[in-house]
Amino acid sequence: MGCNPIIFLFGPTAAGKTELACALAEGIGEIISVDSMQVYREMDIGTAKPTDAQRLRVPHHLVDVVPPNRRFSAGDFRRIASRLIEEVHKRGKLPFLVGGTGLYFKTIEYDLLDVPPGDLRLRDSLYRMEEKSPGILHDRLKGVDPVAAERLHPNDILRIVRALEIVQCTGSAYSRFLGREKRKVISPLKIGLTLQREELYRRIEERCSKMIASGLAREVHSLIERGCTEKHSSMNGLGYSHYVQYFKGCLSHGETVRLFIRDTKRYAKRQITWFRREKDTAWYLPDDFEVIRKRVLGYIESTGFM
pLDDT at 30 over 50: yes
DSSP 233: G
C-alpha count within 13 angstroms, C-beta hemisphere, residue 285: 7
Q: Is residue 2 part of a domain?
A: no
Q: Give me the percent of the chain exceeding a pLDDT of 70.
A: 94
Q: What is the pLDDT of residue 113?
A: 53
Please check whether residues 264 and 225 belong to one and the same domain.
yes
Over range 30-58, report the average pLDDT.
97
Among 22-36, 100-114, 202-216, 275-289, which stretch is predicted with the lowest mean pLDDT?
A: 100-114
CATH number at residue 167: 1.10.20.140
Same structural domain, 256 and 293: yes
* pTM of this prediction exceeds 0.85: no
Task: Report which DSSP code applies to 67.
Answer: -
Worst-scoring range by mean pLDDT, 44-53, 211-220, 224-233, 235-244? 224-233
pLDDT (tens digit per residue) in 53-65: 999 999 999 999 9
Question: 162 and 190: one domain?
Answer: no
pLDDT digits (tens, 9 = 90+) for 196-205: 999 999 999 9
* Same-domain pairing of 209 and 97: yes
Residue 123: per-residue pLDDT: 76
CA–CA separation, 120 and 106 (whole Å): 25
**Domain, as residue range, for 157:** 120-178
pLDDT for position 25:
98
Question: Would the pLDDT of 248 be above 50?
Answer: yes
Select from 147, 163, 178 the last residue of a domain.
178
Sign of CA dihedral 118, 122, 123, 126: negative
Is 284 domain-assigned?
yes
CATH number for the domain including 253?
Answer: 3.40.50.300
How far, in Å, CA of 105 to CA of 191, rounded?
A: 12
Helical (H) or strand (E) element with 130: helix 120-132
What would the pLDDT profile of 115-141 be if each residue is shown by its tens digit?
A: 556 666 787 788 888 888 889 999 999
